[in-house]
Amino acid sequence: MRGAGDRIDTSTAHSARVYDYILGGKDHYLVDIEAGDAMCRHWPALPVHMLENRRFMHRAGRFLAQEQGVRQFLDIGTGLPTAPNLHEVVQEVAPESSVVYVDNDPIVLAHARALLQSSPEGATAYVDADMHDPDAILGSPQFRSLIELDEPVGLMIIGILHFILPPDDVRLVRRLLEPLPSGSFLALTIGTADFAPEEVGRVAEEYARQGMDMALRDLPTATSFFDGLELLDPGVTQVHKWRPGPEQNGIDDRAIAMYGAVARKP
């Protein structure tokens, strides 16, 4: 049986490793460094953009745990472990919280034990699966054992949707929401070129050259992902403007190419 390390392709860049490199991590290879450097030449604001996407996840997770009482989370497209991870954020508020992480990148799998350091009162699990196969996620032993479908769930889809191309995108989000009970929440970030179209367009072209096609959405398209759900204030906005803290002061809108929102399932 092949291990996670046997599946890691170091000959081509990978989005999770490029993200890790740009944010100052250490789990990447030369090919990811070269790709990340090229992207940052196209758009020097890329590190700020990526950091604010991560900070949105922290604020949204904390908001759901602290203000909405959510105690179980499904995190799709987890990425490489970067402290604080989602379980660290929500278990700081509510130690009994459970988090199921999902990613299909073998390098994430290789480091998944860092995602499994739960508080004694709570629990975490890691599912090696792809968002394109939601039934594998929802049918996994980890999901079935940790997620109770008579209690609200926080579905987190952060920094991955721009790699899910139409027409699959809406269908996959809906399929993941389908079994979750009323009172569950969707926290979603959506890539856009609305604020720096030339620079972000060049970054998207660089991703495509590296074999990672992207779909960037305008505001009406981004908002359509929440059809049928109850958007919470402030609605769909750039991620640094969603319930911002002091660290968001002074950020230039042109440095952020991501919409974000949290919505409740009625």
pLDDT at residue 99 tops 80: yes
Q: Give me the pLDDT at residue 6, please.
A: 56
Dihedral sign (CA 261, 259, 132, 33): negative
- Determine the average pLDDT of the residues in 99-103: 97
Summarize pLDDT for 65-85 with one digit per residue, the tens. Answer: 999 999 999 999 998 888 899
The total number of structural domains in the chain stands at 1
| CA 161 to each of CA 17, 76, 168, 215: distance values in angstroms, whole numbers, following the listed order | 17, 10, 10, 8
Other Cβ atoms closer than 10 A to 220: 8
Percent of the chain with pLDDT over 70: 97
pLDDT at residue 238 tops 80: yes
Q: Give me the pLDDT at residue 28, please.
A: 84
Q: Any residues with CB less than 8 A from the CB of 225 and at least 6 apart, and which?
A: 161, 169, 170, 173, 188, 190
Average pLDDT, the chain: 93
- The domain that holds 126 is classified in CATH as 3.40.50.150
Q: Give me the pLDDT at residue 7, please.
A: 64
153 neighbors 180 (Cβ within 8 angstroms): yes
pLDDT at residue 4 tops 70: no
Lowest mean pLDDT among 63-77, 105-119, 159-173: 105-119
- Give the domain extent around 120: 4-264
Q: Give me the pLDDT at residue 1, please.
A: 34
